[in-house]
């Protein structure tokens, strides 16, 4: 019954659990979109505040889509896109960990830089979908739900992102 889940979101324990599951992915989504960490954090915070304030009228099942709708809408009048600050995991050193050949290491470093630049050059929709999959390990269906588009559209964006990345790296 809806009245049960109505109060559920308002329960601090339920809300906290929900926050822990969704805060980082939401903030990351905003980060991929706008490239500014502070702004992404602020906007994620704003979306959660709105959810908290209106918890009585939002069911737990609807909370996630509520969150992303607020985030999507609030984005409109924000500042221009900045460079997405991405990094590789500290202990990640390419395909061949045993190869410490300086030439190989140079090549590897170069490839990493090219890849990051290529990601930066992707158009916004492709980059957001691509990074949500690669960094946040989301399923295409989840991405589709959050961006409020079809799974097919997500696949298209990912596919085109890969084509574009390879093209950019090879220049």
Partner 1 sequence: MEDNYFLAKWLNDEMTETELAEFIPAADFDQFKKIKNYTNHLKVADFDEAKVLEKVLNHKKANPQFIPMFGTGILKYAAILVIVLSAFFLTQNLVSDTQYAENGKKTTFSLPDASEVVLNSGSEIKYKKWNWNSNRNLELKGEAFFKVAKGKRFEVTTDLGKVAVLGTQFDVKARESRFDVTCFEGRVKVNYNTKEIILTKGQSVCFENGIQTNSQSENLQPEWLNNEIAFNKANLKSILGEIQRQYNVSITVKSDYSSDLFTGKLPTNQLDIALQIIAETYHLVPKKTTSNQIIFEGK
Q: Which residues bind partner 1 (CB under 8 A)?
A: 1-3, 6, 10, 12, 15-16, 19-20, 23-24, 27-28, 31, 37, 41, 44-45, 48-49, 52-57, 84-89, 92, 94-95, 111-112, 115, 119, 130-131, 133-135, 139-140, 152, 154-156, 158-160, 162-163, 165-166, 169-170
Least separation in angstroms between CB 42 and partner 1: 9
Least separation in angstroms between CB 80 and partner 1: 19
Which of 75/94 has CB closer to partner 1?
A: 94
Least separation in angstroms between CB 92 and partner 1: 4
Q: Smallest Cα–Cα separation from 59: which of 6, 17, 13?
A: 6
Record the tokens describing residue 167, joined without a space.
């093209």
Which of 149/169 has CB closer to partner 1?
A: 169
DSSP 116-134: HHHHHHS-HHHHHHHHHHH
Least separation in angstroms between CB 50 and partner 1: 9
Phi, psi of 24 (to 5 degrees): -65, -50
Which of 41/78 has CB closer to partner 1?
A: 41
| CB distance 10 to 56 below 8 Å | yes
Give the span between the Cα atoms of 22 and 20, in whole angstroms: 6
- Give Cα separations from 119 to 17, 21, 82 (angstroms): 32, 26, 13
Least separation in angstroms between CB 94 and partner 1: 7
Cβ-in-10-Å burial (0-12, 13-18, 19+) of 47 comes to buried
Which of 72/93 has CB closer to partner 1?
A: 93
């Amino acid at each position: 019954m809806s009245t049960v889940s109505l109060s559920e979101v308002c329960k601090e324990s339920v809300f906290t659990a929900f926050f822990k599951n969704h805060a980082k992915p939401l903030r990351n989504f905003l980060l991929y979109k706008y490239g500014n960490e502070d702004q992404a954090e602020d906007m994620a915070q704003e979306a959660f505040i709105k959810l908290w304030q209106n918890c009585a009228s939002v069911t737990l099942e609807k909370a996630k889509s509520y969150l992303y709708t607020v985030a999507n809408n609030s984005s409109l009048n924000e500042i221009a896109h900045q460079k997405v600050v991405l990094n590789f995991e500290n202990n990640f050193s390419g395909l061949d960990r045993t190869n410490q050949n300086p030439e190989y290491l140079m090549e590897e470093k170069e490839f990493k830089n090219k890849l990051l630049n290529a990601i930066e050059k992707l158009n916004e929709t492709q980059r957001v979908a691509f990074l949500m999959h690669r960094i946040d390990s989301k399923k295409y269906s989840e991405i589709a739900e959050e961006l409020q588009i079809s799974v097919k559209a997500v696949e298209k964006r990912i596919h085109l992102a890969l084509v574009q990345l390879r093209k950019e790296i090879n220049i």
